[in-house]
Amino acid sequence: MAPLDPHSFTDSHHPLTTDISLSLYLDFPSATIHGVAFFILKSPHVGQLYFDTRSLYIHQVLSPITLSPLPFSLSSSPDPIKGTQLSISLPDDDVLNSFFIVFSTSPSSSALQWLSPPQTFNKKHPFVYTQCQCIHARSIFPCQDTPAARIRYSAFLNVPRELSAVMSARHVDRRSPVAGEGHSHLLPGGFNSLWCSETRVVEEFQMNQPIPPYLFAFAVGELGFREVGPRTRVYSEAVNSVLDAAAKEFAGTEEMIREGEKLFGDYDWERFDLLVLPPSFPYGGMENPRMVFLTPTVIKGDASGAQVVAHELAHSWTGNLITNMNNEHFWLNEGFTTYAERRIVEAVQGEDRAILNTGIGWKGLNEEMERFKDNLEFTKLKNNQEGVDPDTVYSEVPYEKGFQFLWRIERQIGRPAFDEFIKKYIATFKFKSIDTHTFLKFLKANVPGIEKEIDLVLWTEGTGIPPDAYEPVSNLYTKIVSLANEFKLGRMPREDEVADWRGQEWELYLENLPKVIDASQVLALDERYRLSESKDYEVKVAFLQLAIMSQCRNFYGEVEKTLKEVGRMKYLRPLYRALVQGKGKEEDKILAKRVFSEARECYHPIARGVVESIFAKHL
């Protein structure tokens, strides 16, 4: 076996899947999906073929010609990171490049979160959504779950009639079920007969562009939408207050798309729709093509949450069109996208906004160096993740160090030349998955002599932050950092100095304060500026983290409330880590364990795993 990806059982000598057709019956009472998948390989294959699965029940593998069973086996014990290997024996007497797999998910699927009505906005109907990045598509359907495998797919989703579905694909139709449509006649356990129930409806989708499996996505619930542009609808549960706030926050989306096209070329995905998910969504956003998923915490009321949308939009070129070959080259997705995001923000919201964004990232990058001081491998852009769970080592390094690397190249050759380079890069590798070596080879071919001006090996394979990285400079940025430094001397900013501040300014200010201050200073800061009550979670969580580290227990009630009302890992990680890391602090650790035990069912499985890994390290 020659592995293609340290996080997949896929064999590099085997043909990759090119097309998948799915028929999925969503059974809300049991929190399971019963499905049939029809796979087409790039070329015919004889002998063993390896697929990834996690917490799936495989009922049958069938020949597409005779529907007779094909031999298969599952590895005897799951790998704690990769899951369970599915080995399929393809016959040599009937050379095949396609087959069916009949399967069912389990309630413990790591990609799926099934929400009961009380866990949703409208409190009336259940809701389910997916989160497949980095290696969780395998818990929805068996697949070669590596970004090296780009697939086109079609899907029939059979759901309760009172609900509707969206996907990272073109919506084809919503209709009453038809017997035998798709491959529903092959469904297991009598669900083929339930397919046509009068209480059900079928939503059909088609994705004709090849995408990596981690971009497979759907959500099902009682959904509504608002039109915000010629290419964009904002969806959420059918709650007017959420829809209206989201439509207002993201009203400028079309302008961002147009700016992105000026910078990076045509937008190739036709639609750029947005779905605001319930608060348990574990990320700020997920760049699923045609249907970006967003946390409600990005709705801040001042349009600043649109910067997250800018990031997910930028992925439409860097990440979705050109994808990292595997997670060891994750910076090719996120470093490029962070650079592209800031260029879009600069064009739409101005240079000051982009520099504040960069400054917050610079501070975060330096903090990640401290986090990984005992494991410097994960301060590299290109790193070794053999035997490593990518969710556990997820960090700002690929985003911010990757951004700094590209920014360094821009400074070296000039922005006009770098803009042309990026357009050529995207045009050359669109709909392909590449690695760091491929990028560097392309860079050196198109920017002759660049390796003499910039140490490319140090940037991509070296640990830490290279000496030619660059802290951003602007009058506003310098003023905020200066005010944070003055706090160390006992001076809080005057109200006239912060009168125009929005969330980003406060976030940068708080990030530059000492990690630990006197509890009385925490109280005084909140008494003047009410930061613990901020509706901007970036500000609120930064302040609460400061309160925990400073042992100011007056705010522990707000810490508990925050940990119970949102599931975004960007907020869970620092708050739980602040509570449990370090010696002593027994009361904090008891609080962390109690809150997690009470809130864990409201977290997505990926978020639960991340909190459990924090506890495993510090408790």
Say if residue 301's pLDDT is above 90.
no
- Which residues does 552 contact at the CB level (< 8 Å), separation at least 6? 519, 522, 523
Q: What percent of the chain has pLDDT over 70?
A: 100
- State mean pLDDT over 284-296: 98
pLDDT bin (cut points 50, 70, 90) of residue 432 is very high
Q: Which of 203, 237, 312, 410 is catalytic?
A: 312
pLDDT bin (cut points 50, 70, 90) of residue 2 is confident
Which DSSP helix (H) or strand (E) runs through 555? Answer: none
Q: Which of 129, 339, 399, 576 is catalytic?
A: 399
Per the model's pLDDT, the better-predicted residue between 451 and 1 turns out to be 451
Report the distance separating Cα 490 and Cα 54, nearest Å: 54
Tell me the pLDDT of the chain averaged across its residues: 96
Say if residue 352's pLDDT is above 70.
yes
Q: What percent of the chain has pLDDT over 90?
A: 96
Say if residue 288's pLDDT is above 80.
yes
Whether residue 134 is preceded by a cis peptide bond, meaning omega within 30 degrees of 0, is: yes
- State mean pLDDT over 261-271: 97
User: Active site includes 312?
Assistant: yes
Which segments are annotated as binding site for a peptide? 131-133, 282-287, 568-570
- State mean pLDDT over 425-451: 98
Say if residue 399's pLDDT is above 70.
yes
pLDDT at position 355: 96
- State mean pLDDT over 255-264: 97
- State mean pLDDT over 464-488: 95
Which segments are annotated as binding site? 131-133, 282-287, 311, 315, 334, 568-570
Say if residue 94's pLDDT is above 90.
no
* DSSP 8-state assignment for residue 493: P
pLDDT at position 583: 80
Report the distance separating Cα 221 and Cα 223, nearest Å: 6
Quick: pLDDT tens for 227-241. Answer: 999 999 999 999 999
Say if residue 210's pLDDT is above 80.
yes
Quick: pLDDT tens for 68-84. Answer: 999 999 999 999 999 99
- Which residues does 270 contact at the CB level (< 8 Å), separation at least 6? 170, 231, 290
Quick: pLDDT tens for 442-465. Answer: 999 999 999 999 999 999 999 999
Say if residue 1's pLDDT is above 70.
no
- Cβ–Cβ < 8 Å for 319, 287: yes
Quick: pLDDT tens for 364-391. Answer: 999 999 999 999 999 999 999 999 999 9
- Cβ–Cβ < 8 Å for 18, 41: yes
